[in-house]
Chains A and B, each alone.
Chain A
Amino acid sequence: MRIVVAVKQVPDTAEVRIDEERGTLVREGVPSILNPFDEYALEEAMRWRDELGGTVTVMTMGPPQAEAVLREAVSMGADEAILLSDRAFAGADTWATSHTLAKAVEKMGDIDIVMTGKQAIDGDTAQTGPSIAASLDWPQITFVGFVRELNQESIVAERYVEGGCEVIRASLPVVITVLKDANTPRLPSLRGKMKSRKIEIPVWGREYLALPEHEVGLDGSPTRVVKITTPEIISNGEIHHGEPEKLAALLVDSLLGTEVH
């Protein structure tokens, strides 16, 4: 079983703050992390590799420093890592990103499954997984909460949707996007950390992937950001202080004033 896990380096959005005067993002001191959802995809891939044999290859597209998340994935147990990095890849939207990632999967050859997290916490689009599937013309199962079965021919997975869960069988090769429910990601091991310090990570660029300029990066992106604003907060609430008894009574007043029944 050869599994590719597509991961992303993201700013830890939980740490991002807004400069209220200027209305801009304060990036200073915000650490870059492995997209948390991708950890579940990685764990799922490693879980099945451990059971069926094979390899797990992590790949990411990003600037040279994105290599850090690949090394982190190796310290958790990934076998190989590939970095897709090229100035020409900058500014890619989900179309261009998935196009490039799919080309890399083709280049690797004989891949059975591509796994990725449900979404990345910076963009929250959840589009890259299905777009990779479209580029490769593979079937897809998105929002996978549990993989029931996997063998060389097919996969059976539970897809968590509004109001329930679909159990879906798909033929391989396939792209799946994984939810938090799927597993508990393992921690890095010291052995893995040692390997991650030493492993050579090949860097693949646009020319190596034989992609024309107009299919990658900003040039290959149909969408463009034209404006960034910070959401306005309207503050007109009443704030109460005082003894717990008084506060509780006031709370019940406001509750019962609007009670549903």
Chain B
Amino acid sequence: MASIEVRKETCVGCGECVPACPFGAITMDDSLAVISDECTLCGACESSCSYGAIIIRTGETVETGIDQYSGILVLAEQRDGTIDHSTLELLGEARRLAEADDSSVSVVLLTEEAGDWPAELISYGADTVYLAEDAQLKHFRTEPFSKITEKLINEKKPAVVLAAATTTGRDLMPRIAKNLNTGLTADCTELSIDPESGGLLQTRPAFGGNILATIVCSDTRPQMATVRPRVMKAMDRDENRDGVIEKIELSSNDLVSRTEVLEFNSLDEGSVDITEAEVIVSGGRGMKSPENFALLQELANLLDGTIGASRAAIDAGWVSYPHQVGQTGKTVQPKIYIACGISGAVQHRVGMQSADIILAVNKDETAPIFEFCDVGFVGDLFEIIPLVIKEIKKRRK
């Protein structure tokens, strides 16, 4: 059984580990760190200790044939015959990682009809495209997709498997990882290869974005990760790249599913997808009431943008959930993000920090938003925004 130990002779009683514990499980007793039953063995203290005095021991592990695994496999995501941009981002990232040990990048595409896409995937960085085409693969369904992919992984033995942290990737990958008895890290924002072990270092935000945790999967293969869309960069399209397209043979058993897709309803035109917006005018607690969002809507309309909101505004019922930006809402990357009456807590920041330009209006000059916005305006938004609307109309004339 796993255990945690504080080495009495090494612990200097500095207390660094006490605040590092996310569970409040460490106290100092006579210059020695004492760990209570609330400990979950998360490892935060182990890495916080500058003296190596905290050690987490695990039971015996048997490493089985890790060396047989090599290369990176990307799971392509398609809808209605079009590949999602996140797949190209993953290929770009996989290419970058593959350079570390000169390994190969492959991609698996399950679809009704692939068209020119296999060649496209090669142009964007794949060395091999594993392709299965069948009318029953038109819509994503968990069971056939996981069965086919598991079989492929068992046969090809990639060291790393990547998928986008979309609703598809986050549905499919945990099922595969559990069935293959291997580790999976969710929603990574940074990947790299550990030069010492050759293992994949997977970094992701946790605790509402308050911390970044780096996670490894050292004893099992493949190392699996879902990657947050719009974080990695796709490589430039290169038509001259060479690659192989390999057909996957399907058996009828592969296509058996206990779920069926009865219909697919696209979002109505009137509805919002704030992740696609180039301009977002966003409001928070400082908006005070639902009516005041009309002001932001007017500004958004002028800029061909859409409305966003912080969790405070959503929870107060001022704006509907699809507009929520942040850890428990959407991650957005617009060209312009205007934060009105948003304090800029870390949970909000992680959802919008990759906007090209962040403008902030807030009457509290100590609001955290002013620490990371590009241009900040300290003042009353109810005075400033109407003037902004007037000014834009004036200048456009």
Are chains A and B touching directly in their complex (CB below 8 angstroms)?
yes
**Which A residues form the contact surface with B (CB < 8 A)?**
11, 13-14, 16-19, 22, 24-28, 36, 63-65, 87-88, 90-95, 98-99, 121-131, 133-135, 138-143, 156, 159-171, 174, 180-181, 213-214, 217-219, 221-231, 233-235, 237-242, 244-245, 247-252, 254-256, 258-261
Residue in B20, B41, B48, B181 whose beta carbon sits within 8 Å of that of A90 in the complex: B41
Q: At the interface, yes or no: B74 with Cβ under 8 Å from chain A?
A: no
Interface contact A223-B346, CB-CB below 8 Å: no
Interface contact A27-B187, CB-CB below 8 Å: no
User: B360 — which chain A residues lie within 8 A by C-beta?
Assistant: 237
- Min CB–CB distance A248 → chain B (angstroms): 3
Interface contact A213-B371, CB-CB below 8 Å: no
**Known interface pairs A24-B16, A130-B172, A165-B264; 18 further A-B residue pairs with C-beta atoms within 8 A, sorted by A's residue number:** A18-B346, A19-B19, A88-B2, A90-B39, A91-B56, A124-B327, A134-B176, A134-B178, A140-B171, A143-B167, A213-B59, A219-B2, A225-B44, A225-B215, A226-B47, A228-B214, A256-B392, A256-B395
Counting chain B CB atoms within 10 Å of each CB, the highest count among A138, A159, A163, A250 belongs to A163
User: B212 — which chain A residues lie within 8 A by C-beta?
Assistant: 228-231
Q: Per-residue CB proximity of B334-362 to A under 8 Å, as 1/0? A: 01101000000111001000001111110
- Min CB–CB distance A241 → chain B (angstroms): 5
- Min CB–CB distance A163 → chain B (angstroms): 6
Given contacts A18-B346, A225-B214, A240-B377, contact A24 B48 (CB under 8 A): yes
Interface contact A224-B311, CB-CB below 8 Å: no
Q: At the interface, yes or no: B118 with Cβ under 8 Å from chain A?
A: no
Interface contact B175-A134, CB-CB below 8 Å: yes
Q: Quick check: which of B105-113, B119-127, B201-209 contacts chain A, the rest being far away?
A: B201-209
User: A164 — which chain B residues lie within 8 A by C-beta?
Assistant: 264-267
Given contacts A16-B210, A87-B1, A219-B1, contact A130 B174 (CB under 8 A): yes
Closest to B167 in A: A161
Interface contact B171-A143, CB-CB below 8 Å: yes
- Min CB–CB distance A3 → chain B (angstroms): 18
Q: At the interface, yes or no: B87 with Cβ under 8 Å from chain A?
A: no
Interface contact A251-B388, CB-CB below 8 Å: yes
Interface contact B375-A237, CB-CB below 8 Å: yes
Instruction: Name 29 A/B residue pairs within 8 A (Cβ), A-sorted.
Output: A11-B23, A14-B347, A18-B210, A25-B207, A25-B210, A27-B22, A64-B37, A87-B37, A91-B43, A95-B177, A124-B206, A128-B174, A130-B170, A130-B171, A134-B179, A139-B258, A142-B167, A161-B168, A162-B166, A181-B321, A222-B217, A225-B214, A227-B214, A230-B211, A237-B373, A254-B374, A255-B359, A258-B336, A259-B303
Interface contact A251-B384, CB-CB below 8 Å: yes
Chain B interface secondary structure, helix, strand, loop or mixed? mixed
Tell me, in angstroms, the Cα distance from A251 to B338 when the chains sit together: 10
**Which B residues form the contact surface with A (CB < 8 A)?**
1-2, 16, 19-24, 37-44, 47-48, 56, 58-61, 79, 84, 139, 142-143, 146, 166-168, 170-179, 181-187, 201, 205-220, 257-267, 273, 275, 278-279, 303-304, 311, 321, 327-328, 335-336, 338, 345-347, 350, 356-361, 365, 370-380, 383-385, 387-388, 390-392, 395
Interface contact A240-B378, CB-CB below 8 Å: yes
Interface contact B207-A166, CB-CB below 8 Å: no
User: A91 — which chain B residues lie within 8 A by C-beta?
Assistant: 2, 40-43, 56
- Min CB–CB distance A228 → chain B (angstroms): 5
Given contacts A14-B345, A27-B21, A95-B183, contact A248 B278 (CB under 8 A): no
Closest to A225 in B: B43
User: B275 — which chain A residues lie within 8 A by C-beta?
Assistant: 162
- Min CB–CB distance B191 → chain A (angstroms): 14
Tell me, in angstroms, the Cα distance from A166 to B167 when the chains sit together: 11
Tell me, in angstroms, the Cα distance from A231 to B207 when the chains sit together: 12
Tell me, in angstroms, the Cα distance from A28 to B25 when the chains sit together: 11
Tell me, in angstroms, the Cα distance from A223 to B261 when the chains sit together: 33
